[in-house]
Structure 1
Amino acid sequence: MFAEAGGARVIPLFFDDPWTVISSKLELVNGLILTGGTKKSGPYLEVVKKLLQKVKEKNNDGEHFPLYAINLGFELLLNIISESNNVLESVDAHKLTTNLEYENNVSIQQTVLGSFPLALRNKLKTDCLVSFNNKFGISKESFYNDKQLSSFFKAITTSKDKSNKDFITTIQANNYPIVGFQWNPEKNAFEWGSPEIPHSLDAIQVTQYAASYLVSEARKSRYEPPVEQVLENLIYKYTPYYSGAKGSGFDQTYYFDAYESSTSTEALAQK
């Protein structure tokens, strides 16, 4: 629904599908979202490494192909680019709603947040409009001391956890259309089971502008996938279930056919 809020349709990827299947689906889309979750190792991590390499290759070959990495996706990007499984630190940001603090050395206008209206950018600094559900993150010191991370990404924002510890919360690649959120831009508009998530007009606009930026980046691609193949693979072929009544925190959940794959791990934005 997050990609749909920006005007895109979605094709789900399943990490336990053969890579040939995953790779063929990548040819049906114009951008990629690495979603949240819990898997940080094993086959899932290896697939994410391949996906990141594919995103870089597409852009190196002249196709504008954006990537949004949210929460777990953000953490995996840090692990992969730093080439270390120890770059993440403990943060006390479980069920936390807070503000964003902009880094002084970054021109916000040249980043994903530059697409937000000035008034909303200012409110992001002062109001609690972004939500976290994290036990891991990376401090400013660790980020800037890691030459691989700080050369590949620019840090856009930081936030303070419940213990007043600063940690990096928004990053953007210097040479690729890759954005990472440690916070959850999708939750404000689409998740109602956790009372700390904000649903004010400003909070909803945060979701909408974040989604619109992703899709605007996908629209820069001149590649037009075969319509018939796109229609055959859209997420609409699967049935969402109302799970909010169980108090899980998620209002809708997809249960994919176990014959096809057990878990949906990435969602693809198709313009």
Structure 2
Amino acid sequence: GRGGVPSKHPARPPSPSARARALPAAAPRCGGGRPQRRSSSSPSRPSECWARWSWRRRPPPPQRRRTPGPLLVRALIRSPASPVLSFGRANASRHLPLPVFPKGVVGLPANKAAKPYCPEGQPCEHIVASYVKFLESQGARVVPISYYAEKDEVVAILSQLNGVFFTGGGANIAPVHEYAYDFAIEANDAGDYFPIWGTCLGFEFLIELAGAPLDHGYQTNNMSLPLIYTQAAASSRMLDVLNDDLLKMLADPEKTSAYNYHSAGIDMANWGKYAELDATFQVLATSVDPVTQREFVAVFESPKYPFYAVQWHPEKNAFELGVYPDGSPYEAIVHTPEAIDVTMALSQFFVNEACKNDHAYESTQEMKESLIWNYPIYSHLSTQMYMEIFVSGRFRNPLDS
């Protein structure tokens, strides 16, 4: 072999006739078709035939190099102490560490609902499942908060949660949103990190909670619009999780996945008119209504608090796939891999934010009884706008019972 390493596959010696042609005429032939390693007269010296033939040996084929990955995997599988070897065994728990659940438990205030969501047309509340999936995709768990919850109830719930998420939909702002916003302000002012996220309607709620009225008359239903970044975007915590390719995609009119479905919002020209709003939040990006040509705020965050909001719907790219009976899409949502990368990056960002405080339920059982999966989920119904929704007469906290 090369470099002093013996080859596993020694080269086949040439045929006797080939060796005869290769050696000078006076050289002796090797008996039996194979070179004799030692001469019979001098056992300590190689024979002349071997010496001549050894110079003409073909080099062995190069040895195949193995990559570290497969070698490491094989080593783990073969190692007696490897956890990989323990899967499927009755005593696997002796070899594997106990699972550690993430701390991110996020509260979602519900929206009022009516037909076709409520059973038999009765008043009820609902939460669109795509927002739940948006959070759960990164390991968070979701607790519903009733649209009609009183202040004491909201404070009791949020003191056990790690963040709150204002969803999109169709509803007016309710006291529950004000209670949650005030709780988060007071908590952060006291050094207790507590994040808020708002999407579409939730984005609009945060504007109202910061003391500004909404502008109306946008014609931006069912369309993806490019983002126009402000100078503040360069130092944004939220946008920092998106790589350059995703930021360029969101700004590209031909590729953007920023799906809009709203008629309210706030004009960029009006933002600076409201001192509390301008002091609490900074604009990161805008978009332009292609019908009215009005530039509206599309993304903002607070430089002081962990509060973030988008006027568009990042959850829909991955989790809303409604279609008409003929198979055509119900909404013009972009479902490219890049669009879903944006969904996952933003959801991971907020879930990470929600893991920065130590709020927790007093018991696992109480937490389990509070989760949204205790409520029925409905698929499609008579509309394709939402793939799934959670419905309840009233989302209640176990502390009330």
> Scaled by the length of structure 2, what TM-score is found?
0.60
Q: RMSD of the alignment, in Å?
A: 1.7
What does residue 365 of structure 2 align with? Answer: 228
Q: What count of residue pairs does the alignment treat as equivalent?
A: 253
Cα distance in 1, alignment partners of residues 263 and 236 from structure 2: 30
Give the one of 327, 334, 348 matched to 1:198. Answer: 334
Q: Is the 8 A contact 1:242 1:251 kept in 2?
A: yes
Distance 1:153 1:20, change over 3 A: same
1:212 counterpart residue number: 348
The structure 2 residue matched to 1:150, chosen from 278, 292, 314, is: 278
Give the secondary-structure state (helix, strand or coil) at the position aligned to 1:106.
helix
- For residue 272 of structure 2, give the secondary structure of its aligned residue in structure 1: helix
Q: In the TM superposition, what is the alpha-carbon distance from 1:26 to its structure 2 partner?
A: 1.0
Structure 1 counterpart of 2:86? none
Q: State the alpha-carbon separation in 2 of the partners of residues 147 and 21 from structure 1.
A: 31
CA distance, structure 2, for counterparts of residue 251 and residue 154 of structure 1: 33
CA distance in structure 2 between the aligned counterparts of 1:145 and 1:14, rounded to whole angstroms = 33
* Alpha-carbon distance between aligned partners in 2 of 1:117 and 1:66, rounded to the nearest angstrom: 23
Q: Following TM superposition, by how much is the alpha carbon of 1:240 offset from its aligned partner in structure 2, in angstroms? A: 1.2
Structure 2 residue aligned with 1:187: 316
Whether 1:15 and 2:151 are equivalent positions in the alignment is: no
Where in structure 1 are there 5+ consecutive unaligned residues?
263-271
Task: Map 1:104-183; keep pairs closer than 5 Å.
Answer: 105-126=231-252, 127-163=255-291, 164-183=293-312
Whole-angstrom distance in 2 between the partners of 1:137 and 1:63? 30
In the alignment, what sits opposite 2:219? 92
Match of residue 375 from structure 2: 238
SS of 1:156 mapped into structure 2 = strand
SS of the equivalent of 1:255 reads: strand
Aligned partner letter, 2:279: S
| Aligned partners of 1:63 and 1:223 also within 8 Å | no
| Percent identity (aligned) | 25
Per-residue deviation at 1:225? 3.0
Cα distance in 1, alignment partners of residues 382 and 216 from structure 2: 32
Choose from 228, 242, 250 the match for 2:386: 250
CA–CA distance in structure 2, aligned partners of residues 190 and 13 of structure 1 = 22
State the shift of 1:255 in Å. 1.4
Tell me the CA shift for residue 219 of structure 1: 1.3
3-state SS, counterpart of residue 171 of structure 1: strand
Amino acid aligned to 2:375? Y
Residue 69 of structure 1 is aligned with which of 168, 191, 198?
A: 198
Larger Rg: 2
**Correspondences of 1:44-63 after superposition (within 5 Å):** 44=174, 46-63=175-192
Question: Structure 2: any 5+ residue segments left out of the alignment?
Answer: 1-132, 323-329, 397-401
Separation in 1, partners of 2:205, 2:336: 30
Ranges of 4+ aligned residues in structure 1 off by more than 4 Å: none
Contact 1:152 1:174 in 2 (8 A): yes
Secondary structure in structure 1 of the residue aligned to 2:143: strand
Q: Is the 8 A contact 2:227 2:250 kept in 1?
A: yes
User: Could you give the per-residue CA deviations for residues 213-257 of structure 1, whole angstroms, max 9, x where no partner exists?
Assistant: 1001011113333233211101111121211x633311111111x
Per-residue Cα deviation, 1:184-215 (whole angstroms, up to 9, x for no partner)? 11111111123301111011111111100100
Could you tell me which amino acid in structure 1 is paired with residue 251 of structure 2?
Answer: K
State TM-score, norm by structure 1.
Answer: 0.87
Q: Which has the higher contact order (CA 8 A, sep 6+)?
A: 1
Deviations 1:115-174 (A, max 9, x none): 112221121111221101100111111012322211111000101112232110001012
* CA distance 1:233–1:172, change in 2 (3 Å): same
Matches of 1:221 and 1:51, distance apart in 2: 16
Give distance in 1, aligned partners of 2:319 and 2:338.
Answer: 14
